[in-house]
Amino acid sequence: MRETAYAKINLALHVRRRREDGYHALETLFAFVDAGDVLTATPAAQDSLNVVGEFAPTLSSPLPGGEGSGVGTPPFDNLVARALNVLPRPQGLGVTLEKNLPVAAGLGGGSADAGAVFRMVEALHGLPDDWQARAAKLGADVPACVLSRTHIGLGTGTEQLSVEDDLAGTPVLLVNPRVPLSTGPVFKAWDGKDRGALPQGPASRIAREGRNDLEAPAIALCPPIAEVLAALARTDPWLARMSGSGATCFALYDTAEARDAAQTAMPAAWWTMAGRLR
């Protein structure tokens, strides 16, 4: 069995306030790219996980800010292993994770991997009725990544609202300066100002008129993000913005040719991935 862990992007991300539980109240427009990490699985006597691919070494090296360590070891605590642990099944799965997405990059890579596990288990055995609660315990983005479709996320991101999706098939380019950026420090650096709710309307309008409230604090912590955004702006996209808490940025184009030309124009030292919105 083979499943893509679709890269998550936040077309807009509005931070409204800090909640009493310490989390932040968010309003976000989730979208997913038709590319990402790749998981393959075969039935096995017991669960196992093998990680390969360009970014496999980052799952065994600590990241700045304290995130990242060995598979299954806090604080990184690989989400594929955790997803396997929370889903009841009659047999084990031997999983190979091809890690194509950078870690600590604003793409929900670990959450997307967990979402792919949920979809594989669903295809093989079905999911328990409380699968959303099980997914949410793994991380705020995991329920969204199980669905992997454009929608609005509220609260910490786990509350899901449908939206008119007029962006499916839109060419998209992801660019990361190869600088990991932990989520916690970015939220801590947010200035606390409520700049208002998401716009109303279809996904395209929300994306155009929305914003990412974490962009400024992320740039303060990771200046190369500003360089990425400037480089993308020069390729004439109809939207270029940072995703999540960074450092990955995305750009949306009218044609695949424009997207591919933009990818060619990016510095060779940066990580890029081209695709379309699902």
- Which of 37, 99, 113, 141 is labelled catalytic? 141
Q: Could you list the residue range(s) of the whole structural domain that residue 52 is in?
A: 2-161
Q: Out of 8, 37, 99, 213, pick the active-site residue.
A: 8
**Residue finishing a domain among 117, 133, 161:** 161
Whether residues 69 and 93 share a domain: the answer is: yes
CATH code (residue 201): 3.30.70.890
Is residue 130 part of the annotated active site? The answer reads: no
pLDDT at 72: 36
Tell whether 37 and 150 lie within a shared domain.
yes
Claim to verify: residue 139 and residue 6 sit in the same structural domain: yes
Q: What is the predicted pLDDT for the residue at 159?
A: 86
Same domain, 120 and 215: no
Q: Based on the structure, what is the number of domains in the chain? A: 2
Residues 135 and 146: beta-carbon distance below 8 Å: yes
Q: Among residues 128, 161, 194, which one ends one of the domains? A: 161
Question: Does residue 113 carry a catalytic annotation?
Answer: no
- Ordered mean pLDDT values, 10 residues apiece, the chain (278 residues): 97 87 86 98 93 86 34 53 93 95 94 97 96 94 96 86 98 97 94 95 98 98 98 98 97 98 98 98
Give the pLDDT confidence score for residue 60 in this predicted structure. 53
List beta partners, residue 161: 152
Q: Report yes or no on 166 lying in a domain.
A: no
Task: Note whether 140 and 203 are same-domain residues.
Answer: no
| Whole-structure pTM value | 0.91
Which residues have CB under 8 Å from 202's CB, separation 6+?
Answer: 163, 164, 165, 166
pLDDT of residue 59: 73
Whether residue 88 is found in the same domain as residue 203? no
For residue 131, the model assigns a pLDDT of 97
pLDDT at 57: 87
